[in-house]
Structure 1
Amino acid sequence: MADGVVVVGAGVNGLTTALLLAESGVPTRILARETPRDTTSAVAGALWGPSFQQPFDKTLAWTARSLQDFQDLANDPMTGVRITDVLSVGDALPTGELPPQVALIPGLRQATSDELPDGYAAGSWGRMPVVDMPTYLDYLQHRLAESGVAIEQQDITDLTRTGAATVVNATGLGARELAEDDTVRPGFGQHVILTNPGLDHSFMELSRDAEWTSFMAHPTRIVCGGVRVPDRYDRTPDDAVTARIVARARRIEPRLHDATVVEAVAGLRPERPAVRVEVEHRQGTRIVHNYGHGPTGVSLSWGCAREAAALAVGGR
């Protein structure tokens, strides 16, 4: 496959990069240890929103590009992408002049006092893409299949031994070993899935604490969060965390008392000081890295994938 590209990893960034390559006519293969439904991407909330990760200029552009793509995808109900009202509150809300990342939010307006839950002094509304990740990952796979690309399940231990001259490394936390990058660290996250009792808006507490309140409304389910435990590799959901997540969500939105708890799910966010999208030459292989997105993998996915795909075919 000398003229093709191998994408390693089947999370949202790997699938999106592979899709862009395949639909532009580049022979593409996907090799992955996990199926998309088994990745951390599958258990994300998932909300498009501002990214404050380095490199700031690039993440700003990637987030803006992704917003355009998700707005287009929201026109098709089969994608799992919807544009919904999102209420953001908390002590990490920006004050004064809006940062450019926040200014990207469509329909941004200050929340009135009667729109705020008890205990919050300020908040804002925006019209933001919310993504039902299992449905969305299935949609990406369907488009890939239409381009003749299937996911080949195998455990890759060396990016230079895939049989391709150009490889896209979209392995998330796996890049710690595959890219020999010890700045990549796991951030354990957990969500609780509830049935949807009729909510059509979402809620996000912007907090610097290890636990916070959020719920993302999808047509048939509510994804409630959240928690971050650094350097934890065990993906087993914690029953005590589940109870706290549900209690916080029901305090904010009383209608969730009528919702049934379906399951708790957990994943490991691939955290890194800066998102990495760049080319590395190693043992005769061009490796295009696309990892380190932390909690904003969905928000950055289309922008990063477009740059990674361009690098993969650019010959640099």
Structure 2
Amino acid sequence: MPDAKSPFLEFLRREMRLRGYSIRTEKTYLFWIKRYILFHGKRHPEEMGANEVKAYLTWLAATENVAINTQKVALNAVVFMYHKVLNIDLGEMDFKLATKQRHLPSVLSKAEVGAILAHLGDRDRLVISLLYGSGLRVSECLRLRIQDIHFDRMAITVRDGKANKDRQTLLSRALVEPLREAVSLALELQRKDNERNIGPSMPGVLGKKYPNAYKSPAWMFLFPSSGVCQHPLTDEPCRHHLHHSVIRKALQRACAQAGVTHKRVSCHTFRHSFATHLLQSGYDIRSVQELLGHNDVKTTQIYTHVLGQQYAGTHSPLDDLSANF
């Protein structure tokens, strides 16, 4: 009966780390695998198979009413466990597909973006500005290291983004000076940390392969955390990046102060606004797709629905009667 501290789940964790899975994927997969085990009364997965997986996925869709992508993540987690670790073939599975679709994203006007930015402190304003100016996810932004900012090319490299992909996106000229200041502050903090043999947390086990890499300015986080922690893989003391909850709390306060309370605003809203405003300005949808890192242009097309561009060339028949009003 595996539980949160069970040898079985720890075994799965080790298997994911051996295969180079990110910490985010590890946590996500373990979450859905644990739910699968709990759903079936804590039976061991080796005692179950395709029928139990189908029942679990159907329950998620029919009872929990999860979105399609959420059900896919749960499926990927369970398939990893059976195919990659337990070497059990699940075969073809006929389960109820989730039907809950994505809602149209909430998008801010340019005036609303400006009003919110005006009520943020320097660091938090820079983070939100990067989300809006470069189309970053908040996790991608906070994981940025100094080597990822290319002032010469006015570009930003996003490493290990969603689906473990790297991509390049644009850098706003308005952020050059604030970013240079952030780099200076980060390097000064790194210098002080290095005096205590502490540095930024390194991805995977890179720190073991290159034990002095933590002293390199290239690896320093642009937005370092205020405190030191233990590395989840090596247990060595290190400084991680700022936690996303800090930005979310600051954003919530700024929205209230700016009076933007009539719509739901999250960090991701600025990524939605980035895409929508680019399309509104006439940018090609393929270019926006590349900047956002979407695998399929259909994902990017949701922003044309926000703009109403799927009805390009048409207009409301009421407009023909406007002279009578």
TM-score, scaled relative to structure 2: 0.27
Q: Specify the structure having the higher radius of gyration (Cα).
A: 2
Question: Greater relative contact order: 1 or 2 (C-alpha under 8 angstroms, separation 6 or more)?
Answer: 1
Q: Decide which structure has greater helix share.
A: 2
TM-score, scaled relative to structure 1: 0.27
Q: Decide which structure has greater strand share.
A: 1
